[in-house]
Structure 1
């Protein structure tokens, strides 16, 4: 269980405090400037975020926190209100890998692995999907229908598979023939309480479910693999699945 809530915070044009020394301070400067933040000093009353890269940061961090700022302290996760993930960018697509400050090296290694997997055309796919938002909404006025149509298209092997470098060129053709997919119920009979024992298909179903029905005894670690906004329903052992719109995934205990 993580103790951090991942967020993307827009700082373009906003004052961001930087108190830094040496290479660590320069690295934070580049990070802030790349995101469009305006670097200010400790006397700025408008700043709400602060990066501290000092050899002896404890007193400085305490002083800034007392003023209500959220503080990031280089190499001191115990002093951090927020941490900075290792970031992979494909145009508007950003994939952030974080470890809550436990191991920046691990986050970097994972990000480099992902770099090799995600095509550079992924940014074009995102821009193209953004450009058809209004048309897609008109085609599928119901938000659930819209999401199911996109889920099917973006799934592995789908018309808009994000890992296929040709997907961006197929957006218009897909939109002309897209279908919502309708309602369906799928049961997953678990083999253990370990989420790593889920097959790829089962993991994809959990990630797409509109409604998640769990029998008594299903491990919470597995239920956490479902969408955060999916409807949750608890059912008795052997009970029939609930009636619901969209994709209902039933988790049967091992």
Structure 2
């Protein structure tokens, strides 16, 4: 990962925008959509800035001046001068999906965004809002945080009661809660990795890594593979799958033995 993706709350905050023209107008629309207040030059309280100037020397000078005042700066079309870049955005508020390439190719980010746009239903944001409104009811139904998370994971899984890609998921939250569905008690899935390269993971393996509560793995499994697991999944370095697995989804990862024994 070459950049840290973050979502910045700009509501009511001051944002510096230097420049005029099409590129500056695009940044202005983005800032306004996020609730920011635009000013043309530094003023107290500003923390980030956008520079949209055609002349390279002017752009560099403006960026350095703003950075000297402690601002993080984005310079349009000049990633080498940027403290941060702006991604292609899929907006299903309050769900926001950002696709970034670190400034390598805005066209690639746009193409990926268009693919994702076609996949996601228009009311995905309504599902997020419904789940937020139901937080109290979910805590009452599943007081234990782990049990609650497993129930939600099961509901949001492909084909689940609240499948985000399914029709009517936003309207099904109340019925799902009334159905008193509980998460799975325990389940073990095994994966024999094809190689140490995470790009060789199958779709099934990548999905299970993203869902597992516990990852039991041989010592030979490389960190690059384990990085694909959920950040809060518990890792266990062992020689064999667990005989008595903990509640939730347990994943056993193993590496094949090469012909030379390595």
Note whether the superposition's TM-score is higher than 0.5.
yes
Structure 2 CA distance for partners of 1:106 and 1:139, relative to 1, 3 Å: same
* Alignment partner of 1:62 out of 61, 64, 73: 64
* CA distance, structure 1, for counterparts of residue 237 and residue 52 of structure 2: 48
* Alignment partner of 1:226 out of 221, 225, 229: 229
Secondary structure of the residue aligned to 1:136 is helix
| Unaligned ranges ≥5, structure 1 | none
Question: Shift in Å at residue 152 of structure 1?
Answer: 0.7
* CA distance, structure 1, for counterparts of residue 51 and residue 138 of structure 2: 45
Secondary structure of the residue aligned to 1:212 is strand
* CA distance, structure 2, for counterparts of residue 20 and residue 231 of structure 1: 49
Deviation per residue, 1:19-67 (Å, 9 max, x gap)? 1221111111111011110001323021001111112311111121121
1:188-207 equivalences in 2 (<5 Å): 188-207=191-210
Question: Shift in Å at residue 164 of structure 1?
Answer: 0.8
Question: Shift in Å at residue 171 of structure 1?
Answer: 1.4
Deviation per residue, 1:129-183 (Å, 9 max, x gap)? 1111110011111111111111111111111111112212221111122202123
Partner residue, 2:4? 5
Partner residue, 2:144? 142
* CA distance, structure 2, for counterparts of residue 179 and residue 17 of structure 1: 50
Does the CA contact (< 8 Å) of 1:124 and 1:168 recur in 2?
yes
Does the CA contact (< 8 Å) of 2:157 and 2:163 recur in 1?
yes
Mapped pair 1:25 → 2:24:
yes
> RMSD between aligned alpha carbons?
1.7
> Normalized against structure 2, the TM-score is what?
0.90
Does the CA contact (< 8 Å) of 1:213 and 1:241 recur in 2?
no
1:37-52 equivalences in 2 (<5 Å): 37-52=36-51
* Alignment partner of 1:88 out of 64, 85, 90: 90
* CA distance, structure 1, for counterparts of residue 230 and residue 42 of structure 2: 43
Secondary structure of the residue aligned to 1:232 is strand
Partner residue, 2:260? none
Partner residue, 1:121? 123
| Unaligned ranges ≥5, structure 2 | 257-262
Mapped pair 1:73 → 2:87:
no
Partner residue, 2:154? 152
